[in-house]
Structure 1
Amino acid sequence: MELSPSAHADPFCRDRLPPFPLWPELHFDLPELQYPARLNCAQRLLDDAVTRWGADRPCLLTPSSGRWSYGELLRRANQVAQVLTEDFGLLPGNRVLLRGPNNPWLVATWFGVLKAGGVVVTTMPLLRSAEIAELHDISRPTVAVCDHRYLDELDAADTPGLAVIAYGGPGEHDLTRRSAAKDGEFTTVDTAADDVALIAFTSGTTGRPKATMHFHRDVLANADTFSRHVLKPQQDDVFTGTPPLAFTFGLGGLVVFPLHVGAATLLIEQAAPRQLADLVAEHGVTVLFTAPTAYRAIMAAGVVDRLAGLRRCVSAGEALPAAVWEEFRAATGLRIIDGIGATEMLHVFISAADDGIRPGSTGRPVPGYRAVVVNGEGDPVPDGQPGLLAVTGPTGCRYLSDPRQTTYVRDGWNLTGDTYIRDAEGYFWYVARSDDMIVSSGYNIAGPEVEKALASHPHVEECAVVGAPDDRRGMVVKAYVVLRPGAAADDVTVKELQNHVKQSIAPYKYPRAVEFVTELPRTSNGKLQRSELRKRARTTAG
């Protein structure tokens, strides 16, 4: 395998790619996946869109009825690229950390970084300072661009040498004012199709995040597979959804897929189920991306009639129960498109739409991908038997300097960490996660990371965290806690521990259920038996 000559002056990413023998098999079976050797995905998604459909076409919408056209987004992205290169000396290959909720300036900055040849590192806006410091330590960004409302945790993080630019605030050095002083004329860097475009983080079961590196061609590949062949968007569609752009499910569904076809996207910073349904109705949304939790909550809130204008509903991030699918179909007439994706693969690789849907099944491999169910030795298991899900396609796992590459990629296959069954018709049926990851409301939460936060509280002697079944969220984080002598096993302590976790790590990771125990189950050699706790959590929930 040989990579094209890189446009990156800073070789950080190329130098930290896994050795070629540890890469997954990549194949580009479809004609639309035959990308040229030189490719910048920002040029393809934005500049080419303006050329094809005109500068005045609506592009980014906001709940306050703000609207940016494709031409306005292009101008602002070029201005951001100018600020980064002229004012901050950004070189191709330098990483830029982004922090903020879903809004137009976050998207403009995402494109501006790519046009300048930089590597985007978009982070979840709710991360705390210690988490930000860890991501900084792994990806080594030179610049951070942050929504002014989210500066506190970034400022508190240990990020030596990091230049910080705020946007949306009152200061004269704010990115919006810096950008306004630029002429908006910028020549997009001629990157290689296999230059790294973005680093996306995924939680590791050890608690240390894994950095996945994706190329410029990868960004387009998901649009030319799942979006083109399963979602089938139209130019007059209006997209919206709840996942943050740091979550690659959100990046595809709210930026890449709509812009790939000249559609518009409504960017929502945050919305409860009732608000989400109202926004869908008010803005003529036709394509919705969210987790099963939200679909359930919209039905429970009695506002499902507000979704009457939808043409497509997409669910990912956690398994979609057949009962939820059936209830939603009965209430709306819409068939939710379920799918499984992974940060390592960038987006959805198994799915189904329309008459191809089997409620309760994730679907079949998306055109361009292949999937099998294998045993622990990597051999395919017979249909109807559970095993590990293994996938290949035009995208695949490339961790940044991480020994866990050999765990995720084996014999050329990406092993997602999910247990699946394939039936005789080639449909894939989700069974469970194969590791200690807790998937709650579409978010991946590493149990050991929550344990580390809990263990730092003075009342906690030891603890263990597992996922417990939950009707609304799919799973919730449940903590089993052994208290130190003198600490009261009561609701006050529960609330104190929960608040402590919220202050230590991203608030959505906190344990919604806490059970005090006198001891944790262990093997004869002292190893914690999380499987016993998972079994107990299922029994209690049942």
Structure 2
Amino acid sequence: MTQEPFNWDPPARYNFARDEIGRLAAERPHVRALLWTDAAGTVIDRSFAELAGHAARAAAVLADAGVKRGDTVLILLSREIEWWELMLGCLALGAIASPGTIQLSAKDIAYRRDAAQATCVIAGGDIAARVEAALAGQPVGLIHIGGPRDGWRDYGAEKQAAAPLTEIADTAFDEDALCYFTSGTTGQPKMTIHGHGYALAHRITGRYWLDLQPGDLHWNLSDTGWAKAAWSSLFAPWLMGAAIFVNHAPGFDPAATLDLLARFPITTLCAPPTAYRMFVRADLAGRAFPALRHCVSAGEPLNPEVIDLWKTATGLDIHDGYGQTETVLLCCNRPGASRIGAMGRPAPGIELAVIDETGTAAPPGTEGDVALRAGDARPPGLFTGYRGEPERTASVFRDGWYLTGDRAIVDEDGFFWFVGRADDVILSAGYRIGPFEVESALFEHPAVAESAVVASPDPTRGEVVKAFVVLAAGHSGSDALAAELQNHVKATTAPYKYPRKIEFVASLPKTVSGKIRRKELREQEWAKAEA
């Protein structure tokens, strides 16, 4: 397998707001940058020149609020158009943007403010009351989106009156720019820090996975509180000169999403596996998406059956991609180099391997740790560390490799095949069982909308496979259906992998990014055994 060259020659100084948005505003002032819509039918179409102007005024509002270079700003917004202005405004100032979901509790907000020592919090009406409860009496600047609010600066009014910031911070390539809170297996969420150069490294994401170019309109369904929004709703499309599509609406409605795909000239789509599962369980007959040419998925592996059903309905493949909050794209399926059910091959510029306990690359077909080579030269887009936690940072590096915490195998052709998170792998009577293969087998049954497979304690086998199953419309749980699903899995994959326990549930616990929280379900199982 030959790897195409990727020229990675990072500059000493870099600022995305200046070097990319400023350049595009000068070179292509009237070209579309952002097409924003909402549930009420509002449509805002902004060019690169208009985008740069709004970002410059956002930076001025932040500066007037006392935000300085190096300060951390919590941005607790959904898909309001102001999110894009303020993310760019923070970068322009040299402040550290820390996006968060509006689902955060008051306790979460207080923890994030204290851990990051944030000097400013930006929020809208959906979460502003929780911010007030969390930060009452603290000397923190508050900026409100959506109109006046007592005790807050009114962003809209101040932006309208502000003179645009003209001097963008000349930030160093490795200077702190982004702070993402990511949950670990134990303890409080850790702060994943990226430098300004992280934005530039998403050339890999935009070119080799999203397949973007000028003239494209890219829609990423990710919540803005997830790092995936930085990947596909901010940096990668604009690095490629493409435009970004946004729909600001409460919740996720698969039928409404498909309507928008048909109505607007969206050429590329990035959606989590949960969304595609809902799409293919909906009625796709007669639907047409005339502009759509390229589809990708990320967050966790996508079941092969979903990929097949989507292609049957639309004629389009779904290209799985893999990376983390700590990285840019690491590997993916690409047009002409794709294998259904695989994570894909490493992206150009990325040295990815499956390694054993000694840090040696494992032979094809052997399960091991997914690791990124991190020698003397830092790989493109790798995080700079977990803020304030040098021991935790050191714990994810071994023998010159960054350990992702995922387990996989590599086949003879260099394709990676996901087994599971290291702590999700089930050990039953001597067998190692990855949850993903069992979940994929279950999804092939028409009664299953979604499932999560975890280890459940067993006195004889140590652990057994348990499946939490969300049923498709028109089906109801019963002992007979559970037995049918068990037999289906036995016939679809190795019989020892079948779920010995099945529990029908209305929904599955998920992260804001749409990943199933198997850890939560697994802990529930073990807590029952200990009770």
Alignment partner of 1:424 is 2:404? no
Structure 2 counterpart of 1:311: 293
Deviations along 1:236-279, one digit per CA (max 9) or x if unpaired, are 11111221122122221112122112322121234311111111
Query: 2:524, 2:124 → 1: CA distance?
Result: 39
2:324 aligned partner, one-letter code = A
Structure 1 contact 132–157 (Cα < 8 Å) conserved: yes
Structure 2 partner of 1:204: 184
User: 1:445 matched to which residue of 2?
Assistant: none
Partner of 1:290: 271
Amino acid at match of 1:226: T
Alignment check: 8 A CA contact 1:53 1:262 kept: no
Q: Provide the residue aligned with 1:108 in structure 2.
A: 85
With 418-427 and 513-522 compared, the bigger mean Cα shift is at 513-522
- The corresponding residue for 1:144 is 121
Distance 1:324 1:190 in 2: 46
- Which residue does the alignment assign to 1:165? 143
Q: 1: CA distance between counterparts of 2:522 and 2:394?
A: 35
1:235, distance to aligned residue in structure 2 (A): 1.3
Residue 221 of structure 2 corresponds to which residue in structure 1? 242
Aligned-residue offset at 1:515: 11
Please name the residue that 1:123 is paired with: 100
Deviates more, 1:106-115 or 1:384-393: 384-393
Quick check: 1:350 aligned with 2:334? no
**Matches of 1:324 and 1:283, distance apart in 2:** 24
Separation (CA, whole Å) in 1 of partners of 2:248 and 2:306: 26
8 Å Cα contact 1:244/1:251 also seen in 2: no
Report the identity percentage.
Answer: 30
Pair 513,385 (structure 1): closer, same or farther in 2 beyond 3 Å: closer
1:195 aligned onto 2:175: yes
C-alpha distance after superposition, 1:97-124 (max 9, x if no partner): 1011113101100000110110110112
Return the offset for 1:78. 0.8
**Equivalent residue for 2:381, pick from 390, 395, 400:** 395
Code of the aligned partner of 2:263: E
Q: Give the 3 Å change call, closer, same or farther, for CA 56–357 of structure 1 in structure 2.
A: closer
Structure 1 residues 478 and 251, CA, compared in 2 at 3 Å: closer, same or farther? farther
Please give the alpha-carbon distance, in whole angstroms, between the structure 2 residues aligned to 1:519 and 1:317: 27
Q: Tell which has more relative contact order, 1 or 2 (C-alpha 8 A, sep 6+).
A: 1
Q: What does residue 176 of structure 1 align with?
A: 156
Secondary structure class of the residue paired with 2:283: coil
One-letter code of the match for 1:137? D
TM-score by length of 2: 0.77
Match 1:258 to one of 234, 237, 257: 237
Q: CA deviation at 1:375?
A: 1.7
CA distance in 1, matches of 2:400, 2:277: 38
Letter in structure 1 aligned against 2:316: L
Cα distance in 2 between the residues matched to 1:511 and 1:133: 24
Unpaired segments of 5 or more residues in structure 1?
1-28, 439-465, 481-497, 523-527, 529-542
> Of 390, 394, 414, which residue of structure 1 is paired with 2:402?
414
Paired AA for residue 318 in structure 1: E
| Alpha-carbon shift at residue 400 of structure 1 (Å) | 0.9
Query: 2:73: which partner in 1?
Result: 96
Q: Matches of 2:104 and 2:408 in 1, distance apart?
A: 31
Matched, 1:435 2:461: no
Q: How far off is 1:511 after superposition?
A: 10
1:66 is paired with a residue whose SS is: strand
Measured at CA, do residues 425 and 110 of structure 1 come closer, stay the same or move farther in structure 2, by a change above 3 Å? same
Q: 1:478-507 CA deviation, whole Å, 9 max, x = no partner?
A: 999xxxxxxxxxxxxxxxxx99x99xxx99
Taking a change above 3 Å as real, the CA distance of residues 365 and 519 of structure 1, as seen in their structure-2 partners, is closer
- Kindly provide the amino acid, as one letter, of the partner of residue 383 in structure 1: P
More displaced, 263-272 or 132-141?
263-272
| Whole-angstrom CA distance in 1 between matches of 2:517 and 2:308 | 30
Counterparts of 1:370-519 in structure 2, within 5 Å, are: 370-392=351-373, 393-397=379-383, 398-402=385-389, 403-435=391-423, 469=439, 471=443, 472-473=449-450, 475=452
Cα deviation 1:31-82 (Å, max 9, x = unaligned): 2x21321111121231111112114534242242222222222111111111
Cα distance, 1:356 vs structure 2 = 0.5
Residue 395 of structure 1 deviates from its aligned partner by: 2.3
Kept in 1: contact 2:359–2:401 (CA 8 A): no
Do the aligned residues in 2 keep the contact of 1:318 with 1:474 (CA within 8 Å)? Answer: no
Structure 1 letter corresponding to 2:191: A
Contact 2:102 2:127 in 1 (8 A): yes
Q: Which piece of structure 1 moves more, 202-211 or 226-235?
A: 226-235
Deviation at 1:186, TM superposition (A): 2.0
Q: How far has the Cα of 1:329 moved from its partner?
A: 1.5
Measure, in 2, the Cα distance between the counterparts of 1:255 and 1:517: 39
Deviations 1:214-253 (A, max 9, x none): 111111102x212113332121111112211221222211
2 CA distance for matches of 1:161 and 1:510?
Answer: 38
Partner SS for 1:93: coil
Q: Residues 265 and 519 of structure 1: is their aligned pair in 2 closer, same or farther, counting only changes over 3 Å?
A: closer
User: Following the alignment from structure 1 to structure 2, what is the Cα–Cα distance between the partners of residues 236 and 264?
Assistant: 7
**Are the counterparts in 2 of residues 373 and 421 from structure 1 also a CA contact under 8 Å?**
yes
**Residue 197 of structure 1: CA displacement?**
1.0
CA distance in structure 2 between the partners assigned to 1:182 and 1:120 by the alignment: 21
**Aligned-partner residue type, residue 411 of structure 2:** D
Q: 1:473 Cα deviation (Å)?
A: 4.3
Give secondary structure in 1 for the equivalent of 2:296. Answer: strand
Q: Is the 8 A contact 1:389 1:420 kept in 2?
A: yes
Q: Within 1, Cα distance between the matches of 2:414 and 2:526?
A: 47
- Is this contact kept in 1: 2:356–2:368, CA < 8 A? yes
2:310 match: 328
| CA displacement at 1:185 relative to structure 2 | 4.0
1:381-421, Cα deviation, whole Å (9 max, x unpaired)? 21101111001331224211222212222222111111100
Residue 376 of structure 2 aligns with which residue? none
Query: Structure 1 residue aligned with 2:319, among 334, 337, 361?
Result: 337
TM-aligned CA distance change 1:477 to 1:374, over 3 Å: closer
Partner of 2:257: 276
Partner letter of residue 280 of structure 1?
L
